[in-house]
Amino acid sequence: MKIAMPARNGQVNEHFGTTQEFAIVELENGKVKETRILSNEGLQHNHGGIANMLKNEQIEVIICGGIGGHMITALEQLGLKVVNGAAGPLESVAEAYAAGTLVTRPVSCGCGGGHHHHHHGGGCAH
């Protein structure tokens, strides 16, 4: 199984849309077999670009912290499963997911709702 997680300093990056790299974690028998970093330089907030990049890596599951609804839709339309509300060290989160013990909290971006975020070009920072 291959999982992708937005990464920063070995942890799940809470802000999906601004992450500059993804950890691609390959699991075998519930344990991390290989982890590598995939740069998404220039693709921040590019929903289709990020979704297609991850799909091309044969990713099955995206595990993240905060993520906006448009990005979730773009990923799910390509058949990727999205698990949000995760936090912690990348490999621990991946192995917890494989074991069925990953604890997540409901996270929604809130952009377009009652919150007023200031972003370059509009859109969500998650």
Provide the whole-model pTM.
0.80
- Which of the four pLDDT bands, split at 50, 70 and 90, describes residue 21? very high
Residue that wins the pLDDT comparison between 115 and 105: 105
Contact 90, 25 (CB under 8 A): yes
Neighbours of 7 (CB within 10 A): 20
Q: Rounded to 5 degrees, what are φ and ψ at 90? A: -55, -55
Q: Which pLDDT score, from 0 to 100, does residue 104 have? A: 83
2-99 fold = Nucleotidyltransferase; domain 5 (3.30.420)
Contact 33, 27 (CB under 8 A): yes
Domain locations in the chain as residue ranges: 2-99
- Which of the four pLDDT bands, split at 50, 70 and 90, describes residue 6? very high
- The predicted-structure confidence for 45-91, as pLDDT tens digits, reads as follows 777 888 899 999 999 999 999 999 999 999 999 999 999 999 999 99
Q: Which pLDDT score, from 0 to 100, does residue 118 have? A: 34
Dihedral sign of CA atoms 78, 82, 87, 90 in order: negative
- Which of the four pLDDT bands, split at 50, 70 and 90, describes residue 112? very low
